C-alpha cells in the first residue's frame, strides 16, 4: 500500500465529515455541471469523490455517476447515505495517476480538490493522460482546487494552487475554457478557503 493511500484511508476512516473540504451541498460544482446542459443518462466521473454529496445531486439530475477514490472507507459512508440509490452508482477504487479507465466513457469529468495534490510533473501528466483516455470528444471538465490565495496545504499535504489560466495550462491544448468562478469555502472549523473553479469543453 502506498503512503498516499494509507494517508487517505486513515483520514476517511477516522474523521467523518470533520474534514476541511466538507460541504453540506456541492453548490458550485452542481451549478457548473448543470451549465453543461447534459441530457439525463449522461455518464459523469467524479475523481477523488470522497464522501461528497455531489453524487446525490448527480442522481437527482438523472445522470449515471462513477466515483473514483483512492480510499475505500469513503465509499462505506457514501453507500450508507445513498441506501438503495447506491445501485445506480459505479464505485471504483484506484489512484487517478495509475488507474486504467475505459476509453471515451464519460461525458463529464469532475474533480474538486484532487488535482491540486499532484506535486510532481509526471503525476500531472498521468492525470491528464487518464482524462484524455476516458473523456468523450466534446465532453466537459469541471476542475476545482485551491486558488493562488488559498491555503498552501490540505489535509497536511502540500498543494499546488491554480487560477483559471493555470488549470488551462495544465490541461494543455484541446480544451476550451468556458467559464471560471471562485468560491470562498467555509470549512466545518469556521475558516474560509479560496477555491478556483473552471469549466472546460474538450475540442
Ligand X SMILES: C[S@@+](CC[C@H](N)C(=O)[O-])C[C@H]1O[C@@H](n2cnc3c(N)ncnc32)[C@H](O)[C@@H]1O
8 binds ligand X (CB under 6 A): yes
Interface residue with ligand X, options 43, 66, 97, 198 (CB under 6 A): 97
Q: How far is CA 20 from CA 23, 25, 151, in A?
A: 9, 14, 11
Q: Which stretch in 32-40, 66-74, 76-84, 162-170 sits in contact with ligand X by CB under 6 A?
A: 66-74
Residue 153: in which H helix or E strand, if any?
strand 153-154
Say if residues 7 and 157 touch (Cβ distance below 8 Å): yes
| Per-residue mark of binding to ligand X, 68-87 (x: CB under 6 A) | xxxx--x-------------
Under DSSP, the state recorded for 5 is H
- In this structure, what is the dihedral angle of CA atoms 37, 94, 28, 53, given to the nearest 10 degrees? 100
Least distance in angstroms from the C-beta of 203 to ligand X: 26
Judged by CB, which is closer to ligand X: 121, or 138?
121
Among the listed ranges 111-119, 131-139, 172-180, 195-203, the one in contact with ligand X (CB under 6 A) is 111-119
Single residue of 75, 109, 115, 117 touching ligand X by CB under 6 A: 117
Query: What residue number has its CB nearest to ligand X?
Result: 48
Q: 26 to 55, contacts with ligand X by CB under 6 A?
A: 48-50, 52
Q: Decide if 131 contacts 109 (C-beta within 8 A).
A: yes
d(CA 37, CA 180): 16
C-alpha span between 51 and 75 (Å, rounded): 7
Give the binding site for ligand X (CB under 6 A): 8, 21, 48-50, 52, 68-71, 74, 95-97, 112-114, 117, 154
Amino acid at each position: 500500500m502506498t503512503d498516499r493511500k494509507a494517508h487517505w484511508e486513515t483520514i476517511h476512516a477516522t474523521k467523518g465529515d470533520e474534514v476541511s473540504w466538507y460541504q453540506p451541498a456541492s453548490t458550485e460544482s452542481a451549478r457548473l455541471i448543470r451549465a453543461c446542459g447534459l441530457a439525463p443518462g449522461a455518464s459523469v466521473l467524479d475523481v477523488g469523490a470522497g464522501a461528497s454529496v455531489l453524487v446525490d445531486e448527480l442522481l437527482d439530475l438523472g445522470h449515471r455517476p462513477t466515483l473514483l477514490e483512492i480510499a475505500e472507507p469513503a465509499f462505506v459512508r457514501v453507500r450508507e447515505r445513498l441506501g438503495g440509490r447506491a445501485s445506480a452508482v459505479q464505485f471504483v477504487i484506484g489512484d487517478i495517476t495509475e488507474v486504467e479507465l475505459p476509453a471515451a466513457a464519460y461525458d463529464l469529468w469532475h474533480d474538486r480538490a484532487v488535482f491540486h495534490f499532484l506535486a510532481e510533473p509526471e503525476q500531472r501528466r498521468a492525470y491528464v493522460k487518464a482524462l484524455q483516455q476516458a473523456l468523450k470528444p466534446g465532453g466537459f471538465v469541471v476542475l476545482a482546487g485551491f486558488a493562488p490565495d488559498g491555503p498552501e496545504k490540505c489535509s497536511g499535504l502540500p498543494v499546488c494552487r491554480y487560477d483559471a489560466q493555470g488549470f488551462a495550462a495544465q490541461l494543455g491544448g484541446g480544451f476550451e475554457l468556458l467559464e471560471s468562478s471562485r468560491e470562498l469555502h467555509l470549512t466545518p472549523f469556521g475558516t474560509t478557503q479560496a477555491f478556483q473553479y473552471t469549466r472546460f469543453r474538450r475540442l
